[in-house]
Structure formats: C-alpha cells, structure tokens
C-alpha cells in the first residue's frame, strides 16, 4: 500500500512520562519532518480508547476526517485525522500548531528527561 500523505504511526509516551510535553515534542518532530519532506498535510489514525491523544491532536490543529476512517474489527472504528501543513489554518485563520510553538523546542532535552522515566516504567 502506498500512502498519499505521510502518516504518524504508533506514537506513544510511557505512562510515567505523560503530562510533561513529550507527546507535543514528538508530534512536533513528526510535523517538522513532514514539512521538510514537502508534504502538504500529515495524517494519523486513532480510536476512541485514546481520548487524551485525540484532544492533543485537536489542540495541535489536526482535523477529524471521516473519509479516512476504517473499521478494524466489527464495531471498532479507527478514526482519521489530518493536519494541513500550510502556513494558515483555514478553520481558525491563525497559524496552526500553537501548542507546538508553546512547547519546549529541544527534543534532545525531552529525551533526556523521559529516558529515566521510561527505564523505571513497569509497563514500558
């Protein structure tokens, strides 16, 4: 299968590292790489089990795209989201990714902070 747009796949933050902006930093890196590649948009899929993630994606400017949905199993809808990588968001008439601009920009620092937490996480 060939994708028309880049897609975020299997991004996760260890439970003990959540709430520290690491998810925003990781998503920011995904956005940066997609932009650098010349893509016009970035997509992702998630399910209703990931309510916190869906709130994060929406804060970052991703819009729900029902045409990207699919059914993974009977009664399990995988929901599609899309982020336009244009300079201005048509929905809000402002530059997208406000949360990305507010987050710390140093990904290496985020990894430094998260590494000990991940090493201690019994679920990781």
Q: Is the pLDDT of residue 114 over 60?
A: no
Chain centre to alpha carbon of residue 85: 13
Q: What is the pLDDT of residue 10?
A: 85
| Burial (CB count <10 Å: 0-12, 13-18, 19+), residue 90 | exposed
Residue in this structure with the two tokens 């530059």, named with its chain if needed: 95
Which position has the token pair 């796949």?
A: 9
- Section 70-80 average pLDDT: 93
Kindly state the DSSP code that residue 67 receives in the 8-state scheme.
Answer: G
Q: What is the pLDDT of residue 120?
A: 52
Domain 22-115 has CATH 3.10.105.10: no
pLDDT in tens, 29-64: 899 999 999 999 999 999 999 999 999 999 999 999
What is the model's pLDDT at position 87? 54
Domain ranges of the chain: 22-115
pLDDT recorded at residue 20: 85
CA distance 27 to 85: 13
């Amino acid at each position: 299968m060939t994708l028309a747009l880049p897609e975020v796949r299997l991004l996760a933050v260890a439970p003990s590292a959540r709430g520290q902006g690491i998810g925003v930093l990781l998503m920011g890196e995904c956005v940066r790489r997609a932009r650098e590649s010349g893509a016009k948009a970035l997509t992702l899929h998630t399910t209703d089990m990931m309510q916190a993630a869906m709130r994060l994606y929406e804060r970052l400017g991703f819009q729900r795209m029902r045409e990207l949905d699919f059914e993974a199993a009977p009664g399990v809808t995988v929901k599609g989201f899309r982020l336009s990588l244009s300079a201005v968001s048509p929905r809000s008439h402002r530059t997208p990714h406000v949360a990305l601009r507010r987050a710390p920009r140093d990904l290496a620092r985020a990894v430094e902070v998260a590494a000990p937490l991940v090493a201690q996480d019994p679920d990781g």
